[in-house]
Structure 1
């Protein structure tokens, strides 16, 4: 099948022109050909139409192939030129190629012209594609820099070796330096010396994994103060290296530290207050019980009812103080976390409920539990609260509780405690984890409303999270994550 091609022949010999066209047709081309003999006609033809290739004789009347190449480069850049000549010496051929010819052929080797044309067009297309891609990259880079220089956050581009290629205006304004100052390793002059090794490690780890990273560093500002910066980096798609941003989080870290101090003080206050309140409440309860034992027969029905109400209130206060003390004690200095056999801790927790499980006819299904890095008392409290709730908030049928665990994608261990109880309305899924939050009256379900908040505090103290999936009337499934212990047997 013939391949169409639009060609401009610069040839002052009509017979040679016909021979060249015939040679191309025999090679499978179908030329849409035009012949010109003068330089002015060449210029006019190039202005009128875009040609796939120019085929020029070397020596013409009043000009030569060098002049043709110059005109083509000026008026139709990117159009390949093939030179045809009776005889072309090696030196002349080299000079033609240097001048811009794509190839040359002698007139006694015209059968090669078809292959030369194919090669010339392929090279032209490759050059055009490369130029188009480079232009697109330049345009994209220009748009990126325009947007980056307008952004309020600090933006940077780095090579694979951590050398900066570009930073935006916000970065330069923050540092009080020029792009030349910050390029290469220059930006590291503002990096706090104590943060350099950790930054290098984070960058190298991300590069080895081929992924992004998130890291905090201290960077010196234009006034000479080191500010805390949260730096995000992501691999660049079009080139090797990274693109990233940096946000000043100094105030946020100061506020977080102040909040931690305030929370610690509040927890200490709650711990001390609840601890100190235990004794006077215990004394009040003791004397009320003593009064009940010794003088109850002298009270009338109203007085006995009043005394019962006061005793019940005192018992509730003692229970709330005990729960509050347990909640506050989670913020105190305690023993370090250790690899803990979750299956053994579950055995201990279920033993506490053995009588209640038998009384209710409850069924507890359990799967293998991975070991986790926690304080055993914390895990025991966590499981007791969730199992206790499953037994307490049961439906009409006998309770069924399923406890399982699996490794999550992030390497942590995700536990699941599922029951067939009364369920929880979706609007309360977050609220139930707040302190002293109750969804039912004390007459219906006794308790202080602290249990799940204790669970949340325990889980979050290990960097995990706890949540519930539930529909009212259809049971509940509590999930929580804890750090997994490596190389510890699972049973």
Structure 2
């Protein structure tokens, strides 16, 4: 069972202890955080929270008034609203404002906690996936409406040009226009493929064992042509990562392939020089790094380059859809990890990601 993080916000210490005790008896591997009021809970330096038990009435405030803030701070958390008195209107209002479930304090027991946690976590995860699919559909429509206009116009123009050239007997011009038409078709094909990769990550989540070295070799094999043409120098170091771990290999290969391809693409005016390494950290997580000596990323762009359609300044003339790094972030998030970039413009870049090297399903946010 995946370890989860639970936050209890209640001014009654006895109620907090009760919920903590019931959680420990309910077969949930939970790390529990406590706060006596909303202000204290927001001041805590907390990790990602999976479940929140929120008291309705506290001195000088109500938990209901802060539901939106809790949803904003921890959007993937199930929020269980608690009150000392049963009130159907309050229950409806709390659900309307974003609570996952509602319970009166006299009804809190081990069975109720187990049911709420099991159903609530599953409900929030299902809703998160629905919302993510909606965002993906919005991404899809944005690409179709915006990014496809230019290559479609180019293809239509080139088709007319070919027709005119053939009619006039200028076969050399027709052949040249046909070559450009193929380039435009390839651009649209690449755009569709990158979009499909970004949207369809949920369809295959079968886990299998792999090693860091094997994942890297598969990525480099897929990029053999690009590496040869660019005369890239690729150095690898997996001396500290011999042990296999459970993951979804095709998706992690895709991440490495994207990162190495970017290092080749954004090498600047010199041959690409790339170093790929991996190691297990003290917490048992697997850390990958892809280091290059290319164009680098401006500091003010580091937080944005993993967003869909965001590309660095000075890269307009280079091919790409702006979805590669967004897809990488999505894959690493599905594996329960994080991805980042450290760089300075003109000084190369280091892309790293950290994933749990465990046997639990990384594509499920919470197991019950």
Asked if these proteins are the same fold (TM beyond 0.5), I'd say yes
Residue aligning to 2:84? 222
Whole-Å separation in 1 of the counterparts to 2:223 and 2:261: 8
After superposing the two structures, state which structure 1 stretch, 304-313 or 319-328, moved more: 304-313
Counterpart selection for 2:261 from 365, 373, 388: 388
Matched, 1:426 2:299: yes
Summarize deviations over 1:390-429 as a string: whole Å, max 9, x none: 1111033322111111122332111111001111100000
Matched, 1:198 2:42: no
Whole-Å separation in 1 of the counterparts to 2:29 and 2:249: 34
Does the CA-based 8 Å contact 2:299-2:343 persist in structure 1? yes
Residue aligning to 1:319? 190
Residue aligning to 1:463? 336
Matched, 1:362 2:218: no
Matched, 1:154 2:10: yes
Residue aligning to 2:220? 350
Does the CA-based 8 Å contact 2:291-2:349 persist in structure 1? yes
Q: 1:422 to 1:272 in 2, by over 3 A?
A: closer
Summarize deviations over 1:123-180 as a string: whole Å, max 9, x none: xxxxxxxxxxxxxxxxxxxxxxxxxxxxx952455xxxxxx4xx6xxx8xxxxxxxxx
Give TM-score scaled by structure 1 length. Answer: 0.45
Whole-Å separation in 1 of the counterparts to 2:193 and 2:326: 14
Whole-Å separation in 1 of the counterparts to 2:319 and 2:218: 23
The structure number with the bigger radius of gyration is 1
Secondary structure of 1:432's aligned partner = coil
Matched, 1:262 2:124: no
Secondary structure of 1:323's aligned partner = helix
Whole-Å separation in 1 of the counterparts to 2:208 and 2:255: 16
Give TM-score scaled by structure 2 length. Answer: 0.59
Residue aligning to 2:167? 298
RMSD value over aligned CA atoms? 4.7
Matched, 1:338 2:208: yes
Whole-Å separation in 2 of the counterparts to 1:473 and 1:196: 52
Matched, 1:475 2:323: no
Does the CA-based 8 Å contact 2:155-2:185 persist in structure 1? no
Q: 1:477 to 1:269 in 2, by over 3 A?
A: closer
> How far apart are residue 319 of structure 1 and its match?
2.4
Does the CA-based 8 Å contact 1:274-1:321 persist in structure 2? no
Summarize deviations over 1:347-387 as a string: whole Å, max 9, x none: 12112222332333322111114534221110110010001
Q: 1:283 to 1:426 in 2, by over 3 A?
A: closer
Q: 1:197 to 1:404 in 2, by over 3 A?
A: same
Whole-Å separation in 1 of the counterparts to 2:335 and 2:179: 43
Residue aligning to 1:127? none
> How far apart are residue 434 of structure 1 and its match?
0.7
Residue aligning to 1:329? 200
Summarize deviations over 1:269-301 as a string: whole Å, max 9, x none: 7679999xxxxxx99999988877676333689
Does the CA-based 8 Å contact 2:50-2:121 persist in structure 1? no
The structure showing larger relative contact order (alpha-carbon pairs under 8 Å, at least 6 residues apart) is: 2
Secondary structure of 1:367's aligned partner = strand
Secondary structure of 1:445's aligned partner = coil
> How far apart are residue 336 of structure 1 and its match?
2.2
Q: 1:156 to 1:345 in 2, by over 3 A?
A: same
Matched, 1:437 2:310: yes
User: Unaligned 5+ residue runs, structure 2?
Assistant: 1-7, 33-45, 54-79, 92-100, 105-119, 145-150, 360-368
Summarize deviations over 1:423-475 as a string: whole Å, max 9, x none: 11000001111111122466631111111111000001111110000011110
Whole-Å separation in 1 of the counterparts to 2:250 and 2:31: 39
Q: 1:273 to 1:469 in 2, by over 3 A?
A: closer
Map 1:45-194 onto structure 2 (within 5 A). Answer: 153-155=9-11, 157=13, 164=14, 187=18
Does the CA-based 8 Å contact 1:199-1:215 persist in structure 2? no
> How far apart are residue 215 of structure 1 and its match?
7.8
> How far apart are residue 342 of structure 1 and its match?
2.3
Whole-Å separation in 2 of the counterparts to 1:285 and 1:460: 37
Secondary structure of 2:203's aligned partner = coil
